[in-house]
Structure 1
Amino acid sequence: MPRLLRTLAVLILAAQTLPAWSQSYDMEIHGSNTIGAALGPMLIEGFLEQRTGGTTSSRAGSEENERVLSARGNGTAIDVRVAAHGSSTGFRALADGRADIWASSRPAKSSEIDAMADTADLNSIDSEHVIAIDGLAILVHNSNPLERISIDDLGKVFAGQISNWSALGGPDRPINLYARDDKSGTWDTFKSLVLGRSYTLARSAFRYESNDQLSDDVARDPGAIGFTGLASVRNARLLAVSDGDAPALKPNQLTVASEDYPLARRLFLYTRGNNNPALVNEFIEFAQSPAGQDLVAQSGFISQNPIAMEPDYDAAVPATFRVLTENYRRLSVNFRFSEGRSRLDNKAQRDLKRIVDYLERENRGADDVLLIGFADQQSNELRAQMISELRALSVSRALREAGAPVRAYTGYGHYMPVGSAGGHSGEQRNGRVEVWVRKH
């Protein structure tokens, strides 16, 4: 066979044996269905139209829960593939080079961080990008009279230990369980926050790849209870959720944005740190920008753009706290810490600029801001007060370095917890700094 024909034969054979994902795209995002179903495509569309000046077309991919978005304009043609098969699938795609971005509705696991250590530090601010806040919504049928449920009772329900609504004050009716599939970051979040090490999901639970389909089926079943991302509540009804001695909260803009809601979670994009193509870095910056965060809000998730809101006090809020904040409105931002009591986590570091930009946009000065620190339960009030004040001081210093020399800060000790006390969870959730802005 002539050399040219042999070469052509080899090329044809190679093309036939290439895996389906080898088709060339300018950017690929793999992972979470929570992100990939609507939020991811919306962000990509906004980014592509901003970058090219043209309109974006969308077509179904080669498999279910996949889309390809394309834009042409300014002499540029860009094609982006979104494969939404679950958070764990996104990690594998990023690790083996099939994906440029891993979309995840849970933080990276220690095993995943270790596996990628030679390529990127998934814990670093260069690799871990929070693009939205979501509340894990606990859904029931509209005819169900139950209003609230504790995390512990929720665990017992999904483990099958509580199997009739009458045990929770509802009607004498069997409980039917609706859960996400085990590739889902939504499932990982629920398993971590609700089931923990105490409970195992009952075998009778119906499992779903799609948040929307799960929600629709709950809305049709009077005996149902299920969980989805907040953007997929649709025609079902939300329950308020309590953690420990903290008050029960329903997910809304303030409780989720501040992460006070006990089943609030962050939605992430993970990249290879400093080893990204320029297009990937541009998209990440767009997703974090005010314009990108406006699209987050339009998609049904909670934007990270700060908003000042009137507090919705319940009977448990002490009179001293009401007096402290009576001339202020609360910003929809809480500062939380990654290590110990002083190091701000990756989201908090980006929130510093968001607050500086908010104050400038609203023509507010540093004197209009009040920072209030909180501590997890401590052995005595003095220790709790000291820790809470140190947290507020830490944020005050960080804001000053970012361009907003905030002067007013205080601590409120270990009062007004938003979660169960003790351990890593208590330290992370109760140990926070709230941001309040003076009323005009």
Structure 2
Amino acid sequence: MLANESILKSIIYDDIQYCKVILLLNQGEAQSQSLVHARTIGAITTPVDQHKLLQVIANQVKKSGFTGLINDIELVDYIQVLAMNKATKAFAVETEAGRGVLVIHQGKPIFAVYEKLRGEAAFQAILSLPKGKLVDKTIKKLPPPNINKALTQLLLECSTWRDEHQHADHATVEEHEIFLEELIPEAVPHSTSRARMPAQPWRSALGFGVAALVTLVLLIGAGWKLLAPPRHAGEAANATPAVMKADAARMVPLAASTAPAAPTEKSPAGPTSSDIQLNQIQTVTSLEQPLDIILRLHGSNTIGSKLAPNLATSYLKNILQASNIRIIQKEAPVEKIVVGDTATGTVGIEIHAHGSSTSFKDLLQGACDVGMSSRKIKDKEVAEMRALGDMAGPASEHILGLDGIAVIVNKGNPLRTLTIEQTSAIFSGKITDWAQVSDGRMQGPISIYARDDNSGTYDTFKGIILHDASLAAGAQRYESSPELADNVANDRQAIGFIGLPYIRQAKALTISDQGTMPIFPNFFTVATEDYPLARRLYLYTPQQGAKPQVSDFVDFALGATGQQVVNETGFIDLAVRTFVAGIDPQELEVQDKGVFQRYIATTQDKKRLSLNFRFRPNSTELDNRALRDLDRIVDFLRSQPVEHILLIGFADNQGDYHYNTTLALDRSKTVRDELRSRGIPVSEMLSASEEIPVASNQTSHGREMNRRVEIWVRLKQA
């Protein structure tokens, strides 16, 4: 071991200049004084006690905060860790271009300043900085808030902001000079030989956001090992809880590393995923007490990767009052069991996330209780599963939340938007060079990254984008969403598609359809399903023969606490919110200017709600999501100072324009009658006929999106 100490010291203490070191020793092993250094912050013994490890790190951070280089730290990941832990922190940034401050209070960004920029613009500027110094400090006093947007929306808008803004303004931040001087210590050199550290799924385990700065040096037996965490989340169970392996030790934090804070000031009361502390991680064979599997959730990797484990954990804790909640990681990376101890014994919820198609196969074979799918069940599957009841009916099909499929490229790609047609041509191999879609701003062969055939993400993408075309030969396929996103972020020629929570360090493009405006995937465009690649996340349950826990779990997942978990895991929950919506008439093809102008005039002084009611083809019958949304909107309207409710109906373009104008108004009347029966009066109704489509009317999916009713409200002035 001594022969290797000089090598170890060279790697850790000389090459990695800004790390902190924790020595890990065998039981009874003496600490080598030659390895003790100013950057050594403690020592622990094997087997690793997670709580002792975290305590060593926590003590160091509480004592001194930390200083690091922006090019070594993923700011987005760090801010999301602060959000999950509802932390209050301030950190200052200093670059060659200037200085700034970002303040997080109880997990929400409340204040940002960067040179002349203030509020949301400064927040985006700071997150877009490619290099510089970052100093983390516990804040002494809160400045007056200047950020009003939710973290979810801010992060989703970050990629677009980077393309549209440059940091050319270097004016002094005069009114916050004292604040800056208090937070910024001596300068740290900008140049370093250390390579940029990619985002890692285990950072949330450290709870204090310092994981990116800590290197664990493991001195085991007669030799030593410097162990790095897995490069991709797919190598670490492809999921939250993420897995960090260190020989005999395993740590599995439950909170999702990508989970943003709730997108409104008021969130439903209830536990968050970060409330749960795992006591240990066990292998499948190490569970000593008998285990009763009470639920089996199989299917979508999008849901099963992080959302299902978080829901299962919250369900065990809050509904079954379980304690000692932990994860059993099975041999397959996408298979795990969430385990908890209850008054009647140890119970578990099994999660297999092999893809949406497997959910229907396993339901039919009786191998699972709840199917997870990131696409709607197909007519063929409904027919095959008729013995279980009407699987497309409201008793079996449950909309859990919403997600958007983002088309992602490398941040170095200058492209900002694609049409559906261009996207299809790229992924089917008809367009093979970036010069064909970038007006010469970028050239070279296009590298295609795609999810595998079992993925609901791929199924949805194929249905909306590819249709009958085949994926381009040579496309690289992935079972893991995070791994795909990370590879796109590391390949300047790459393009891929992914669920919104997995954009990570890639850049999302705006997407337009025939006759529609380019739309960026963010909270409200996905919540309303106006974004062309928005999709629903489903739970499917047998209509007949289901065990009692199935309905209990579904009700929990669709209720207030379950929807909060959906939100905190990074997906779009179904809670109702208001937002200011705008339309650029230059981007639209208008058939009847009178109808369009009435729409603009009527909505001018109102806010739009974050949902649309949608309908079955050629009818006024509400779809399955709308039936549950009625209760949500009633609860929202009763809790708000609403003085005017406006319903606007829309139709697709199939058939006569006059007929569709009447049909659109009739759809508004259907919603009015449902609200009226629940004690909510509607002030006004309007038909927008075939105008303002949000998707192409050339496809069945697009027409489904266009058959809708929007809800607008005017709130009483305080």
Normalised by the length of structure 2, the TM-score is 0.56
Q: Residue 357 of structure 2 contacts residue 454 of structure 2 at CA under 8 Å; is this kept in 1?
A: yes
Q: Give per-residue Cα distances to partners, 1:283-321, cap 9 Å, x unaligned.
A: 100111122111111111111101111114334475543
- Asked if 1:121 corresponds to 2:121, the answer is no
Give 1:370 deviation, angstroms. Answer: 1.0
Q: Which of residues 211, 227, 230 in structure 1 aligns to 2:500?
A: 230
Aligned to 1:179: 450
How far, CA to CA, are the matches of 1:378 and 1:63 in structure 2? 47
Aligned to 1:31: 299
Aligned to 1:155: 424
How far, CA to CA, are the matches of 1:426 and 1:217 in structure 2? 31
How far, CA to CA, are the matches of 1:404 and 1:200 in structure 2? 49
Aligned to 2:612: 334
Give 1:77 deviation, angstroms. Answer: 3.6
Q: Give per-residue Cα distances to partners, 1:74-109, cap 9 Å, x unaligned.
A: 445421010001111121111111100110111111
Pair 1:423–1:214, CA change in 2 (3 A): closer
Q: Residue 695 of structure 2 contacts residue 703 of structure 2 at CA under 8 Å; is this kept in 1?
A: no
| Secondary structure in 2 matching 1:162 | coil
Aligned to 1:322: 600
How far, CA to CA, are the matches of 1:64 and 1:426 in structure 2? 36
Structure 2 counterpart of 1:205, one-letter code: A
Aligned to 1:49: 317
Give 1:173 deviation, angstroms. Answer: 1.4
Structure 2 counterpart of 1:129, one-letter code: H
Deviates more, 1:87-96 or 1:137-146: 87-96
How far, CA to CA, are the matches of 1:282 and 1:62 in structure 2? 29
Aligned to 1:73: 342
How far, CA to CA, are the matches of 2:405 and 2:626 in structure 1? 21
How far, CA to CA, are the matches of 1:423 and 1:214 in structure 2? 28
How far, CA to CA, are the matches of 1:312 and 1:433 in structure 2? 17
Larger RCO, structure (CA 8 Å, separation 6 or more): 1
Aligned to 1:141: 410
- Asked if 1:361 corresponds to 2:631, the answer is no
* Equivalent residue runs for 1:377-396 within 5 Å: 377=653, 381-396=657-672
How far, CA to CA, are the matches of 2:311 and 2:679 in structure 1? 29
Q: Give per-residue Cα distances to partners, 1:108-139, cap 9 Å, x unaligned.
A: 11121111101221111110011011101100
| Secondary structure in 1 matching 2:403 | strand
Q: Residue 363 of structure 2 contacts residue 369 of structure 2 at CA under 8 Å; is this kept in 1?
A: yes
- Asked if 1:289 corresponds to 2:559, the answer is yes
Structure 2 counterpart of 1:350, one-letter code: R
How far, CA to CA, are the matches of 1:210 and 1:395 in structure 2? 40
Give 1:51 deviation, angstroms. Answer: 1.2
Give 1:232 deviation, angstroms. Answer: 0.4
How far, CA to CA, are the matches of 2:678 and 2:306 in structure 1? 33
How far, CA to CA, are the matches of 2:546 and 2:485 in structure 1? 36
Give 1:382 deviation, angstroms. Answer: 3.0
Aligned to 1:83: 352
Deviates more, 1:412-421 or 1:72-81: 72-81
How far, CA to CA, are the matches of 1:127 and 1:379 in structure 2? 32
Percent identity of paired positions between Structure 1 and Structure 2: 38
| Secondary structure in 2 matching 1:334 | strand
Q: How big is the alpha-carbon RMSD for the aligned residues of Structure 1 and Structure 2?
A: 1.7
Give 1:398 deviation, angstroms. Answer: 1.8
How far, CA to CA, are the matches of 1:290 and 1:327 in structure 2? 30
Structure 1 counterpart of 2:432, one-letter code: S
How far, CA to CA, are the matches of 1:273 and 1:421 in structure 2? 33
How far, CA to CA, are the matches of 2:335 and 2:690 in structure 1? 46
* Equivalent residue runs for 1:402-421 within 5 Å: 402-421=678-697
- Asked if 1:376 corresponds to 2:376, the answer is no
How far, CA to CA, are the matches of 2:656 and 2:372 in structure 1? 42
| Secondary structure in 2 matching 1:57 | strand
Structure 2 counterpart of 1:340, one-letter code: N
Give 1:405 deviation, angstroms. Answer: 3.2
Structure 2 counterpart of 1:29, one-letter code: L
Aligned to 1:20: none
Structure 2 counterpart of 1:414, one-letter code: E
| Secondary structure in 2 matching 1:368 | strand
Aligned to 2:461: 190
Structure 2 counterpart of 1:196, one-letter code: H
How far, CA to CA, are the matches of 2:541 and 2:655 in structure 1? 41
How far, CA to CA, are the matches of 1:375 and 1:92 in structure 2? 35
How far, CA to CA, are the matches of 1:424 and 1:401 in structure 2? 32
How far, CA to CA, are the matches of 2:345 and 2:551 in structure 1? 17
Q: Which of residues 609, 630, 640 in structure 2 aligns to 1:352?
A: 630
How far, CA to CA, are the matches of 1:282 and 1:226 in structure 2? 37
| Secondary structure in 1 matching 2:391 | coil
Aligned to 1:7: none
How far, CA to CA, are the matches of 1:425 and 1:186 in structure 2? 15
Give 1:275 deviation, angstroms. Answer: 2.5
Q: Residue 376 of structure 1 contacts residue 422 of structure 1 at CA under 8 Å; is this kept in 2?
A: no
Q: Give per-residue Cα distances to partners, 1:351-398, cap 9 Å, x unaligned.
A: 00010111122254xx53211111222565433321211111111112
Pair 1:93–1:308, CA change in 2 (3 A): same
Deviates more, 1:187-196 or 1:266-275: 266-275
How far, CA to CA, are the matches of 2:556 and 2:568 in structure 1? 15
Aligned to 1:246: 516
Structure 1 counterpart of 2:453, one-letter code: D
Q: Residue 696 of structure 2 contacts residue 703 of structure 2 at CA under 8 Å; is this kept in 1?
A: no
Normalised by the length of structure 1, the TM-score is 0.90
Structure 2 counterpart of 1:96, one-letter code: Q
How far, CA to CA, are the matches of 1:207 and 1:341 in structure 2? 40
Deviates more, 1:265-274 or 1:51-60: 51-60
Q: Residue 403 of structure 2 contacts residue 572 of structure 2 at CA under 8 Å; is this kept in 1?
A: yes
Aligned to 1:433: 709
**Structure 1: which 5+ residue stretches go unaligned?**
1-22
Deviates more, 1:79-88 or 1:407-416: 407-416
| Secondary structure in 2 matching 1:335 | strand
Q: Residue 644 of structure 2 contacts residue 683 of structure 2 at CA under 8 Å; is this kept in 1?
A: no
| Secondary structure in 2 matching 1:332 | strand
Q: Residue 126 of structure 1 contacts residue 274 of structure 1 at CA under 8 Å; is this kept in 2?
A: no
Point out the structure with max Rg over C-alpha: 2
How far, CA to CA, are the matches of 1:301 and 1:423 in structure 2? 26
Give 1:49 deviation, angstroms. Answer: 0.9
Pair 1:221–1:432, CA change in 2 (3 A): same
Aligned to 1:110: 379
Q: Which of residues 149, 168, 179 in structure 1 aligns to 2:437?
A: 168
Structure 1 counterpart of 2:303, one-letter code: I
Deviates more, 1:169-178 or 1:313-322: 313-322
Q: Which of residues 376, 397, 401 in structure 1 aligns to 2:677?
A: 401
Give 1:209 deviation, angstroms. Answer: 0.1
Give 1:411 deviation, angstroms. Answer: 0.9
How far, CA to CA, are the matches of 1:291 and 1:360 in structure 2? 20
Give 1:154 deviation, angstroms. Answer: 0.7
Q: Give per-residue Cα distances to partners, 1:261-302, cap 9 Å, x unaligned.
A: 111111101001243211111110011112211111111111
How far, CA to CA, are the matches of 2:584 and 2:564 in structure 1? 30
